[in-house]
Every structure is written in structure tokens, then in C-alpha cells.
A and B are shown apart, each in its own frame.
Chain A
């Protein structure tokens, strides 16, 4: 029974190669709203399934999850497209939830904390995609110069996604490492974290920095920037509050 639940959960807290299903689904030409919904609900189903299983996650499955997290973090380094990056980072981050020792409620919270920054990025990226056709570093939009509010929010969203303090992901990762610091898993998690940082820095470098390609990118309105800013601040405050319960 547990094994069946775990194998089905491997689709929702994606384990390679089942992760291909999620990433193909996310890459389909849906609107940003649907993608955002997928990013929120998909891991919650996975968490529900693994917490329903009567047995704890076996070691081989935890190792598989770690390998998946590493694989997608490594592959994310070479990505130039924001949409693909969101999918790969989600896959890599959610796979780490297999290693969490938290209670069911906390795992749902951790999954949400890892998803929300990616949801923000999806909503932001959808807007830009409508304007430019794609959100790729190949277009070198130089957002910081051409659309500073847009660039600023995008940068903060990427930072929150790669588990920069005080985003919820930071505390989730620290708690996961602290739960099992003796084995190789802690070292692999830190390497995954490092690869997220590298891929995030490359994305920021390609999308935000530079003189711009000449394509005019309309900036976020003041009210939209405020809304995104408040959402990011809420994410930070949520992370601080979450630290109280996960640590």
C-alpha cells in the first residue's frame, strides 16, 4: 500500500522520470493563471499522498529524490527561458520534500513556501511573455534599465525562489539539513542549493542586467509594483513566521 502511494506521489513531488510529465504539462501554452494553480496544487497532492502512507519514506526513495533534485538543479544552470527555469526549480525543490521530517501540516506549508515565489515569477513572466513572445535571456531585455520596477520585482522573485533568507525556502532547507546532517544527503542538498544560486544568478544576469536590446518593455504600473512588493514582503514575513514552527 505504502509503495503504491509513494509511486503515485512520485508524479506530484516529481521524481525523475515521472518529473517529465509535470514539466511537459507546465510548458504547454496555458495562461499564467493555470500554471500558477498547477504550481500550488501539484506538490500539495504529493505531500498528501506521502503523508497518507503508513510507512516512512524508504532510504532508496529518499536517495532517488535527492538525485532528482540534483539533476534538475544542474540542468537549470543551462536554461535561458524563465518558464522552463520555473519548472526545473519546482521539480528540484519539491523533490527535497521527500526528505523532510516535518509533520503533515508543516510539509504542506513547506511545499507552499517553495511554490509561492515560483507562482509570483509565473505571473510576472506571463505578462512579459505576452509582450515579447518569450522570456528568454537570449532576448537580453535589460529589464533593470528599460523597466526598473519589473526588473526589481523579478530579481526579488528569483532570490526568493532560490531560498535566499528570509524566504520560506531558506528555513525549509536549513530544517531539512538539520534533520539529517550526518549523511551524504546534507552535502547533496547544499550542492543543490549552490546550483540554484548559480542558475538564478545567470537568469538575473541575462534578463535584468545590460543595456537592453532596444525592444521597448513597458514597466509595471506603480500599483502593480506595490502589489508584487507586498506579496514579496508577505513571503518574507511568512518565512520568518514559518521559521518558528519548522526549526
Chain B
């Protein structure tokens, strides 16, 4: 396990020391060691999958504990795999850039730090790695040292990450104060036996869970701490890929790592769900308003991170891990391909002028009433069926998995809507269209259920912990039913609104057009959040400067 950390560190050290002697060959050295790191992580994961025992390695008395468990072994493969792809891509992509050797040194250091983070078995090691990720990302984003803009947004990222680091420091302090150890396994064991500890009249797990969630929010670009994400596109493309495919997912990892704390919380996961929901919606809406491919991808990541945090909020922790892996793979591919796509599009947009084009680009949908109404009816019928099935036909324990039901519902709506939007203008065959939609439903249900089950069994082999997580995320059945009905109503109203808006295109009422303009302005200015932060920062700087003048700079 230690070799997995030592290899990229060795790469960084040798890359720095031999930079002049090796020249461009420094990339080969770095890639070779990355490959070896990936191979070791694969071996460790396969051992774990084969039923090998979890273990740990203590490098010192108080801290430096490394864990080898299902979560760390899986995350190590993700980190080292994405890092290897980014290394391979960067070899040629960065060849013309200044600071070629420095870039690979930083990449290796980042890989080592991320591996340290996922295998940290004590709070100090976790804090060290958690802090260093932000610092290294700052330097990777500012790779072009002559570009003040890239560096400014890198600083912004560093500051946001530091905002997220601090709740974790507070949580660590509270846990150490309560249990007298930095070791995570010891803390989790102690909390399991005495979860009633209080902090200022509030249960300790509630406070610690809230602080950890805040840390995860900042790392995973949740709403209000998201502004750094879309603005860091000035950095090199491989860094964007690494950031969006790996680093930003750390929030989901952190919540999973502290699962034994969250099982003792009351309302924290509900707030986590709410935050994820708001972020998913706002991120997706903002993505639609972007004209720049990379910025749109940035907001898409924000939406996906919102969905991942939502999954944690409903107790589907292991599903969030699956999500972060899947998102990492596809978003990494998109970023690494973005430059090529832009270059290709400059030569030829390659968009066929067919129905799909007129629908997506020119926003002129085919006008058919029947599919719209049928789709709306199905949207209404499916959640009702899910409710019925989950309440009366499935085992009683299914109530503990309310979150999974909500996610199935979201997944189905999204998938069905996509297929509907894509195919309805191409086909006159309604039977085929609805067969596709039903197939999508089946795929979503089966996929999510099977994957969720497999990840659950691997990451959380203890059934008590599994059900404890779902129980902590659960809400009363009445509230659950009310929420599903509310979501159904909102979706159906959305369908109807979209349909009539399209039907009355150009003949809309003035107030509606005005509302649309105001909304678009607000969304295109990113809800003025960045403006607000910028203004607040300028005022603070002016205040500090006035104070310095008043106190004569001493």
C-alpha cells in the first residue's frame, strides 16, 4: 500500500531533480511510475474484491495511519486511473508549454496527495491531504505563470477550498476532544458505543456531520461555494479534466468515509439532500445558458455534483461513489476531447440540418399534441405506480430505502424525457417511441438497483451500517408521499408549461416574455453570486486598507 504513495512521490522528486538532464523525457518517467501506481492499485482492489482482509499501516504513533479497505482501494483505482489518463494526454498536449517538467512534478504530487487522502486512516493525515489538494490545484491551475487571470481564478479556488477545509478542522478538533484519538477506526468504534456525546447542547454526531457536509459542499462545488468551478477553465485542459473527473468528487468520498458518523445524525442528511437538489437544478439551468463549451461543462459538473450530494442525502452513499466514478470517466473524456471538438467545429459544424437540429438548435419542435399528453400522463402514472408498489407489494424494509425510490424516479424522468425529446420529432410511430421510453425505465431501474446493490455489498459489508445509513436519511412516510406528489405536480406543470409555451411561440403574453428576459439575465449573470462575492471582497480590501492607513501601517 505504501508503494502506491511512494511511486508518484518518487516521480515528483526525480522529475524535479533531473528536469534539466531529462528534458521532455521527464514525462516518460512520470507516466511509467503512474502506470506502476495504477497497476498496484488494481492489485489491491482485486484482492479486496476477492475477499481479502482490510488492513492498515501506521507510519507513526499519532498520525500517518493508512487504511486499506473497500472504499480506499476502489478510490485508489479511480484516482490512479484518471491520473494515468491525464499523464498520457499531457505528454503531447503540454509539449509546447513552458514549465513542462514542473507540470509533471505537480501532477505526480497531486496524485500522491489524492491517494493519501483516500487512504487516510486518521484525522491529521486526512487534514494534511485535504489541505494540500487545494494548494496543488492552485499551482496546477496557474501553470502559465505569465497569465495573471489563470492565477487569479486559481487563488479563488484556493480560497474556496480553504473555506471548505476549515469545517473539517473544526470537526477533527471536536472528535479529538470527545474521544481523545485521531484514529478514524477508533473514533467510529467509540461513537458506535456512545453516540450520545453532546456539543453545546447538540448531539456531537449532528454537529460533526454538519461540519463534514460543509467541507464536502465546498470541495464539490455546491451552490454558493460553486463559483470557482466554471471560472477555472483558464488552466490547462488536462488540469480541467483532472479537476472535474477526480478532485471535485472528493465531497462524495468524504461523506462516505464518515458514514459511521452520519448513521448517528438526525437531520443532517436531509439538509445534504436539499443542498444537492438546489445545486443540481441551478447547475443544470446555468449550463443551458452558456455559450462556451468548457464553461458549459463546468456547470454540468456542478449539476452532477449536486446529484451526487443528493444521493448521499437520501442515504444512497455507495451509489454516490458509483456516480462519482461514472462522472469522472465521462467528464474526463469530454474535457480531454473538448479542444479537438472546438477545433473540428471551427472547420465544419457537422450538424445535419434535420429535425433534431431544428429542435435543439433552432428550438422549433414538431407540433404533435398526442405524444405530449401521453408523456405527461405517464409522468403522472409512474410515480403513482412506484408509490403503490413500494408501499404495498415490496417488503416492508423497502421503506428504509426511500432515497433509492426517489432516485429511480429522477432517473426515469430524466431518461424518458431525453428519449422523448430526441425521438419524438423523428418518428411518426408512437408505439416505438413509448417502447423506447419503457425500455429506458427498465434499464434505469435494473441498472440502478443492481449497481446500487453491488456497491452497497462491497463498500458496506456490514448490514447494520447499511440499514443505519438509510434510516438516518429516511423521513416519515407521510412526508415522503407528500414530497413525491409535489415533485410529480411540479414536473407535470413543467411539461404543460413547456408545451403551451412552444405552441404559443411568438404569441406569448408580455409579462411572460418579460419574466423570461429577467430570468435569462439572472441566469446568464450566474444569479449575481460571483458579482456579490467580488463586491464583498473589494469592500473588505478597501476596509483593510483604510484601517492600515488609520493605524499608519503598523
- On A, residues with C-beta under 8 Å from B are 20, 23-24, 27, 71, 74-79, 84, 87, 142, 144-145, 151, 159, 164-166, 170-171, 173-174, 177-178, 181-182, 186-187, 190-191, 193-194, 197-198, 201-202, 204-205, 208-211, 243-244, 247
Instruction: Report B525-554 CB contacts with A as 1/0, cut-off 8 Å.
Output: 000000000000000110011011001011
CA distance A20 to B547 in the complex (A): 13
Partner of B541 from the list A71, A78, A177, A181 (CB cut-off 8 Å) is A78
Instruction: Report B335-357 CB contacts with A as 1/0, cut-off 8 Å.
Output: 00000000000000000000000
Instruction: Say how far B355's CB is from chain A's closest CB, in angstroms.
Output: 50
Residues of chain A within 8 A of B174, CB atoms compared: 181-182
CA distance A211 to B166 in the complex (A): 33
Q: Can you spell out 27 A-B residue pairs with CB atoms less than 8 angstroms apart?
A: A20-B551, A27-B553, A71-B547, A74-B544, A75-B547, A77-B541, A78-B541, A164-B131, A165-B127, A165-B128, A165-B131, A170-B131, A174-B127, A174-B169, A177-B169, A177-B173, A178-B172, A178-B176, A182-B200, A190-B166, A194-B159, A194-B163, A197-B159, A202-B155, A205-B148, A244-B60, A247-B63
B548: nearest chain-A partner, CB-CB: A75
Residues of chain B within 8 A of A165, CB atoms compared: 127-128, 131-132
Contact call B62/A247, Cβ cutoff below 8 A: yes
Residues of chain B within 8 A of A197, CB atoms compared: 158-159, 162
Instruction: Label chain B's interface by main secondary structure.
Output: helix
List the 9 closest A-B pairs by CB distance, nearest first. Answer: A181-B173, A144-B145, A78-B544, A190-B166, A23-B554, A201-B155, A165-B128, A209-B151, A78-B545
Q: B152 in the interface, Cβ–Cβ < 8 Å?
A: yes
Interface size class of B (residues with CB under 8 A): 35 or more
Contact call A198/B159, Cβ cutoff below 8 A: yes
CA distance A191 to B170 in the complex (A): 11
Contact call B170/A177, Cβ cutoff below 8 A: yes
Contact call A205/B169, Cβ cutoff below 8 A: no
**Contact A209:B145 (CB < 8 A) given known A198-B159, A201-B155:** yes
- On B, residues with C-beta under 8 Å from A are 60-63, 124, 127-128, 131-132, 135, 138, 142, 145-148, 151-152, 155, 158-159, 162-163, 166, 169-170, 172-174, 176-177, 182, 199-200, 540-541, 544-545, 547-548, 551, 553-554
CA distance A173 to B127 in the complex (A): 12
Contact call A190/B182, Cβ cutoff below 8 A: no
CA distance A166 to B162 in the complex (A): 15
**Contact A190:B169 (CB < 8 A) given known A165-B128, A247-B124:** yes
A152: nearest chain-B partner, CB-CB: B102
Contact call B173/A174, Cβ cutoff below 8 A: yes
Residues of chain A within 8 A of B62, CB atoms compared: 243-244, 247
A81: nearest chain-B partner, CB-CB: B553
Known interface pairs A23-B554, A193-B166, A205-B155; 11 further A-B residue pairs with C-beta atoms within 8 A, sorted by A's residue number: A75-B548, A144-B146, A165-B131, A170-B131, A177-B169, A178-B176, A194-B163, A202-B155, A210-B146, A243-B60, A243-B124
Partner of A190 from the list B145, B159, B170, B544 (CB cut-off 8 Å) is B170
